[in-house]
């Protein structure tokens, strides 16, 4: 890797939702941290990407690039915890809306792209 792929400016926390027994015997989904301080690059989603996910009832907000495959799917959440060496005081929980997919980066190598946003009702 070289240049940009060596210097992604953000960090995130990756959580996976797991099903656990609730206090009254029912099941609920609780997030469990899988990885923290993961180097990434947060970017706004394009209009065409947003429209594609809206057709499926999901609210796409951003896309996140990783230098290696973060191995996430729709059971995960991402929280951006640091931007340009500044800690985010109240990180927002975003649902992962797509699996991590390889994405060519203009001759710089391969990054992995994950679409994030809100998936209403998925884990209620």
Helical H segments across 13-115, by residue range: 47-54
Taking the domain 3-118, which CATH number applies?
A: 2.40.10.270
Question: Residue 1: pLDDT band by 50, 70, 90 thresholds?
Answer: very low
Question: Residue 105: pLDDT band by 50, 70, 90 thresholds?
Answer: low
Please tell me which residue, 106 or 32, carries the higher pLDDT value.
Answer: 32
C-alpha dihedral sign at 27, 30, 35, 41? positive
Helical H segments across 26-115, by residue range: 47-54
Q: Could you tell me the two tokens for 69?
A: 């495959």
Which pTM does this prediction carry?
Answer: 0.84
71: left (phi over 0), alpha (psi -120 to 50) or beta: left
Compute the distance between CA of residue 95 and CA of residue 87 in angstroms, rounded to an integer.
Answer: 20
């Amino acid at each position: 890797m070289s240049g940009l792929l060596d210097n992604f400016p953000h960090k995130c926390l990756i959580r996976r939702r797991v099903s656990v027994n609730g206090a009254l015997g029912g099941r609920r989904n609780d997030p469990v941290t899988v990885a923290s301080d993961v180097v990434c690059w947060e970017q706004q989603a394009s209009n065409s990407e947003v429209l594609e996910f809206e057709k499926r009832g999901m609210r796409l907000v951003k896309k996140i690039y990783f230098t290696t495959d973060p191995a996430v799917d729709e059971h995960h959440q991402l929280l951006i915890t640091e931007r340009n060496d500044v800690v985010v005081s109240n990180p927002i929980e975003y649902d992962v809306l797509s699996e991590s997919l390889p994405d060519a980066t203009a001759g710089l190598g391969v990054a992995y792209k994950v679409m994030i946003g809100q998936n209403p009702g998925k884990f209620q």
